Chains A and B, each alone.
Chain A
Amino acid sequence: NAGVTQTPKFQVLKTGQSMTLQCAQDMNHEYMSWYRQDPGMGLRLIHYSVGAGITDQGEVPNGYNVSRSTTEDFPLRLLSAAPSQTSVYFCASSRSGAGVGNEQFFGPGTRLTVL
């Protein structure tokens, strides 16, 4: 099993450009999530999904869109990149949630710089 994979590993964008961060998991997990990690801020939840076709907002959803058409994939779209979106982005998945007994497995991260 590859676990949780993310592409690309690194990306540089100009302000106003759009892009999609890819996330895939091969563990048949129902729950998937996107976090951003900034210095001094820890991990903050952007969006999450509890199953194919179901998504919801986390703490910091503005400027990001998600969709979940299959169990395996959960792409994160930046609509119009801003320097404030410079961050490291992590995708995670778990069996059925973020609670006890549902260990979240994290991908290796995507380092995004917006100029």
Chain B
Amino acid sequence: QKEVEQDPGPLSVPEGAIVSLNCTYSNSAFQYFMWYRQYSRKGPELLMYTYSSGNKEDGRFTAQVDKSSKYISLFIRDSQPSDSATYLCAMGKDSSASKIIFGSGTRLSIRP
């Protein structure tokens, strides 16, 4: 079993919809959680990170962590065609870690 599971998609939604992307994990030692966005044929770029259970908002993006369920989510409000990309979750065991574990990524397409 992988330490981090992520539905690969593809997920296709119309412009303006609310998008929900999710990851589950098995190791309760994970303490901090990140979301990366990767456009086609580009390197990933950090979108958001959280260090505790609860919600963190940044513009149209909200990251949610539920440690009791080992479940994290990324919500995108008012989705735009420019949000079309692959979204990867990542997580680490402590704030000074040298290694993080990535999910396999969910491919998202926003239809104009």
Contact = CB atoms under 8 A, between A and B. Distances in A.
A106 B103 CA distance: 16
Contacts of A109: 41-43
A27 to B, nearest CB: 14
Q: Bin the interface of chain B by size.
A: 20 to 34
Chain B interface, >50% SS class: loop
Contact of B95 (A41, A92, A99): A99
Nearest to B90: A43
B73 interface: no
A42 B103 contact: yes
Contacts of B98: 31, 48, 50, 56, 97-98
Interface string A90-102: 1010000111110
Interface in B40-97: 41-46, 49, 51, 88, 90, 92, 94-97
B18 interface: no
A14 to B, nearest CB: 24
Contacts of A35: 102
Contacts of B90: 43
Contacts of B6: 42
B103 A90 contact: no
B96 A97 contact: yes
A32 B92 CA distance: 16
Contact of A40 (B8, B44, B51, B95): B8
B102 A90 contact: no
Interface of A: 4, 31, 35, 40-45, 48, 50, 56, 58-59, 90, 92, 97-101, 103-109
Question: 10 tightest A-B contacts by CB?
Answer: A106-B43, A42-B104, A43-B102, A42-B102, A99-B95, A100-B95, A99-B97, A98-B100, A103-B46, A100-B32
12 contacts: A42-B102, A42-B105, A43-B102, A48-B98, A48-B99, A97-B98, A99-B92, A99-B94, A100-B92, A100-B95, A108-B41, A109-B42
